A and B are shown apart, each in its own frame.
Chain A
Amino acid sequence: MSGGLPQALELVFLDPAVWLIVLASAAYGVFIGATPGLTATMAVALLVPLTYWLGPVPALAAIVTMVACAIFAGDIPTVLLRIPGTPASAAYADDAHAFTQRGQATRVLGVCLLFSVVGGLFGAAVLMAVGHQLARVAAWFSVAEYFWLYLMGLSCAVVVSRGPVLHALLGLLIGLLLSTVGLSAVHTEARFTFGQPELFQGINFIPAMIGLFGVSVVLRNLFDLPARGESPGAAAVEPVAAGTGRKLFRLLGAVFGPAATLMRRRPRQLVRSGCIGSMIGMLPGAGADIASFVSLAASKRAGHDDATPPDPAEGIADATTANSASLAGAWIPALVFGIPGDSVTAIVLGVLLMKNVKPGPEIFESQSALVYSIYLIFILANLVLLPIGFLAIKAGGYVVRVPRRVLLPVILLFCVLGAYAINGSYFDVGVMLGMGLLGFALERRGVPLGPVVLGVLLGGPLEERFIQTLTAADGSPLAFVNRPLAAALGAICVVLWLSAALRGLRRQH
């Protein structure tokens, strides 16, 4: 195994093609991530034909870099426009956009960037150090454990939301109910489809997310758009964000300064978020989105007892660390058992097999150079993200300065394109519009939208695991708690609900 590392160093760092591909993929990933509706899975699938002509190392470099950059870039529209670029950013959409409204977009984007990079590096370190041993853990998770895990993710969405608990719960239940439209994954029997074949596949969560966040933002803004001739009323303009030339150093300070301070102040929380991300990413079927909600909940719970109200930037930092750390986690079961940790690694497995690389425990012995190369690529990808992400933040600064009356139609066009892109279906565009109206109505009544999106996203898997667990036990509800790990996860869920209920009661008095 010792011969692998020098060979890997040579494969990764001495090949100019790898560097070029990493840079190009980073730019591609930033575009994909920053455009709501374009998912990393779709972008990777598009890269696959390209990898036929590449060696395994450049091919994997392209995929790893692209995904790492896409997850960070999802934060950019989240912060600037409150439209999550990827579901992984939905957890802190409200918190993050609040900074922009106060004119602090640069600060919070800097936090997102720096903590994404550190989270990604943390995930890579976990993959390198204990990936081989940790793979066993994924094999402990049966359907009952997954049921609790999904319920935990959903509960976290309620816990982290701003505002009253009951409102968040209402949003969550609406999302869950929407997720039951179409053929259920378990029964493949049609429900609530009203004979429409398009509804068989249910409500796709990407158009739903674009509608709930994007279209509702457009509608909300149209209502307080000043009439023609009045003051332009552009969103809060930041003087620093658009700095050029000489101001570069000042801008660097503005982006990374507060983030670095935050990081120095809270090393323990950083490790916690990284661990949450790696563990959740490692489990097949749970990814960056759940990781980010759980980490945010952990952050808010932990800081709850302090007398001073916690800085929302801390929560954002923890969540964005976790969602980036989860990416490397997904590779653990993929490499060790050939079981993909998420849809991206599913495609990666296809690429590996095409290159005659068979994943499995022996890959660490027989292909050690390739495994080390993957580790190095993860490090390289996250380091490249620093300058590329910085440029993206700088470019994002200009978006905020575009007058709203010009920006809103453009956003609307991107919403339509994003909803259409995922499946090439006009029905999805209609879903997006309906969800936009729903989102607008819910927001007016103080119902947060994050739980709705997570409900639509996780409702299907939750129901699947619920019915599977019941079926496996022939109807006995004991099946949910009769394995030690399932019981432990169930206990965490109960604690979460109790704490949420307490918070609700305390608020009333």
Chain B
Amino acid sequence: MTFLLPPTPAGGRQPAPALRAAATALLIAAAAGGCGREEAFPQRPIVLVCPWSAGGGTDRVSRQLAVLLERDLGVPVNVVNATGGAGVTGHTRGALARPDGYTLTTITPELNMLHWRGLTNITYRDFQPLMLVNRDDAALFVRAEAPWQSPEDLLRDIRARPRSLKASGTAWGGIWHLSVAGWLSAAGLQPGDVIWLSINGAAPSLQELMAGGVDLVCCSVPEAQSLLDAKQIRCLAVMAERRLEGLPNVPTLKEGGIDWSVRGWRGLALPKGVPEERRRVLQQAIERVATSPEYLDFLRTAGFGAAAEGPEQFTTVLRNDDQRYGALLTGEAFRDVRRQRFGPLVFPVVIGVLLLAVLGALVASGGLRPIDGGQALTVRGLDLATWAVAWVVLYVLLAEWLGYLLTAAALLLLLFWRLGVRWQVAAGVTLVLVPATYQFFAVWLRVPLPWGLLGW
């Protein structure tokens, strides 16, 4: 198990180093407070928020950066996948994190779309951009045996039979959806002339393309590379300014007379309000990492596009993207597309009606009475159960302030006392279990358990 052991100050069953480290941390904190300025940054693990799930492109880039940053900065850098809500969760969490420099976020173009769709109030202005670390061009893919040989063929077909072709590549309103909608608009068609299937992610969309469920997939080139190499799909066009190195025979949309290009990107950002010295430390570290041969090697072998653009350029990218997607999402042409025919309440209503029906049948037949042989709700039991519930609530309230070690130890002792465990047993179990769980979860598994009063 030692292979996952990073240099963090806590020993599993050796309380001595943990105590020493805690004392050192306290001293440093006191010294820093006394001098009123930073002695050293960073001192403790940094969290890198990834708004997308483990295994996806953004996750892979984040994890690679985390490894390299960890080596550069000398503290653990932990990737946390705050997924869900089409990127809302992760971006919100990153923007609202404490601006102490210990939370970084991998931001993606969705940041500039979500607020236009009313899903969040967070915009790029809530972030301090550090560095843009990767760019990928959008491209159009069809099945190998599809009749279309060029994007013009496809447009002709769509014009002749609107709403007969189906496309996907990402969820509704995601970047590849906007890419297709913008392309159709630029060609003088309605964005709704192609039915967009809201499929989460490029991989399942490509699978749907192969199964014949959709006719067209728009996603970045590395996401489709394996199927392209396997000759299962063809690339009709790339939405880039010029032809791509890896696909020299595939034309750009521009060559067909339609001026439309889209690039996905990934970048690191801090929440607004991080002290300037800390920001500079991180900035320099990321610059070293993003231009390191290891990182560039990783991008090349994984098929990702290289990029390293500093805060000014990155801010320009963010501002331009925001205006462009804002115009598209709030524009006339996109309005009919914004509302899907089968709304978000269709499914819950179906389930709700079924639930009420079953519930009604059960209540009518008396099937919902407490079952035979169930326990009686004794006063003592209720008392203990209330303690257990309060226990969890107390943990949530106290952990961040007291830190994991103190909270867990105090609460364990409390519950042992309530349950009448002998104090020797209670103390022994607590002394072994709390540091052991810390070692296992926080050190080996990189769960960000808080230190609270003991340090940070």
Contacts and interface: CB of A to CB of B under 8 A. Distances in A.
A408 interface: yes
Contacts of A423: 80-82
Contact of A200 (B88, B298, B396, B429): B88
A464 B302 contact: no
Nearest to B79: A45
B412 interface: yes
Contacts of B344: 184, 186-187, 189, 191
A333 B433 CA distance: 42
A471 B347 CA distance: 13
B81 A284 contact: no
A139 interface: yes
A41 B385 CA distance: 33
A414 B441 CA distance: 10
A412 B447 contact: no
Contacts, number: 314
A49 B66 contact: yes
A339 B399 contact: no
Contacts of B4: 46, 50
Given A177-B351, A183-B119, A201-B89, A360 B226 contact: yes
A130 B116 CA distance: 49
Interface stretch (A163-171, A371-379, A490-498): A163-171
B161 to A, nearest CB: 13
B37 interface: no
Interface in A155-174: 164, 166-167, 169-170, 173-174
A143 B205 CA distance: 10
B384 A362 contact: no
B419 A468 contact: no
A340 interface: yes
Contact of B340 (A186, A190, A361): A186
B419 A409 contact: yes
Interface residues on B, range: 35 or more
A306 interface: no
Given A170-B355, A356-B301, A180 B368 contact: no
A248 B372 CA distance: 42
Given A42-B54, A201-B84, A471-B198, A338 B171 contact: no
A222 B55 contact: no
Nearest to B399: A426
Contacts of B199: 143, 464, 468
Contact of B415 (A44, A48, A353, A412): A412
Contact of B197 (A174, A359, A421, A468): A468
Contacts of A410: 412, 429, 433
Nearest to A463: B347
Given A200-B85, A284-B204, A409 B412 contact: yes
Interface in B52-68: 53-56, 59-60, 63, 66-67
A45 B399 contact: no
A220 B343 contact: no
B207 A408 contact: no
Given A433-B392, A467-B347, A444 B370 contact: yes
Contacts of B198: 185-188, 464, 467-468, 471
Contact of B354 (A173, A218, A343, A405): A173
B220 to A, nearest CB: 14
A347 interface: yes
B385 A219 contact: yes
Given A183-B88, A433-B389, A176 B351 contact: yes
Nearest to B438: A417
A31 B230 contact: no
A129 interface: no
Given A413-B437, A423-B80, A463-B347, A218 B388 contact: yes
A405 B120 contact: no
B82 A471 contact: no
Given A143-B213, A188-B86, A421-B445, A164 B226 contact: no
B371 A471 contact: no
B25 interface: no
A220 B378 CA distance: 12
A180 B347 contact: yes
Contact of A38 (B195, B421, B445): B445
B213 A472 contact: yes
A228 B445 CA distance: 38
Interface of A: 24, 27-28, 31, 38, 41-46, 48-50, 52, 138-145, 164, 166-167, 169-170, 173-174, 176-177, 180, 182-192, 197, 200-202, 215, 218-220, 222-225, 227-228, 284-285, 333, 336-340, 343-344, 346-347, 349-350, 353-356, 358-362, 403, 405-406, 408-410, 412-414, 416-417, 420-421, 423-426, 429-430, 432-433, 437, 444-446, 459, 463-464, 466-468, 470-472, 474-475
24 contacts: A143-B199, A183-B85, A185-B171, A186-B344, A187-B172, A188-B85, A188-B117, A201-B89, A223-B377, A223-B378, A225-B384, A337-B227, A340-B55, A343-B55, A353-B302, A354-B298, A360-B230, A405-B419, A423-B80, A424-B447, A445-B371, A463-B347, A464-B198, A467-B346
Closest 6 A-B residue pairs measured CB to CB? A338-B226, A201-B84, A346-B55, A223-B381, A142-B213, A228-B420
